[in-house]
Amino acid sequence: EVQLVESGGGLVQPGGSLRLSCAASGFTFSSYEMHWVRQAPGKGLEWVSYIDSSGNTIYYADSVRGRFTISRDNAKNSLYLQMNSLRAEDTAVYYCAREGGNGYNFDYWGQGTLVTVSS
């Protein structure tokens, strides 16, 4: 069974940093592209970042480029999101999601971890 479990969320002050983790199991993690997607309270989904299976190709949403860094450790079956210079508008539930084998979709999602940026 495919499982994605996020951790690392919490309350952080504006300008602060946080590192999210996503532990993957039930599939060959090193063969799949991965994403981070977020959802602000009461709002729609927003794509955040993508990393290919080897970690060599990375993309970011304009809203986080230069502040967030996606990475992965295939030996540990883990995906990460380093978030710096956090703003109030970064407050959201952050989901890690696997890219489907057919590409260009998100076929499995974690349960999400809440990040709250507030003083």
Q: What is the CA radius of gyration of the chain?
A: 13
27 scored as a contact of other proteins (CB under 8 A): no
Whole-number minimum distance, CB 118 to other proteins, in Å?
21
**Residue 26: half-sphere exposure toward Cβ, Cα within 13 Å:** 11
Give me the 29-68 binding string for other proteins, x by CB under 8 A, dash otherwise.
------x-x-----xxxxx--x--------xxxx--x---
Binding other proteins (rule: CB under 8 A), the pick from 3, 28, 105, 118 is: 105
Map tokens 């990393």 to a residue.
51
Cβ-contact 118, 10 below 8 angstroms: no
Of 56 and 104, the one with the shorter C-beta distance to other proteins is 104
A 10 A CB-CB count for 17 gives 12
Of 89 and 107, the one with the shorter C-beta distance to other proteins is 107
Q: What DSSP state is assigned to residue 66?
A: T
Structure tokens at 66: 């230069």
Whole-number minimum distance, CB 95 to other proteins, in Å?
6
8 scored as a contact of other proteins (CB under 8 A): no
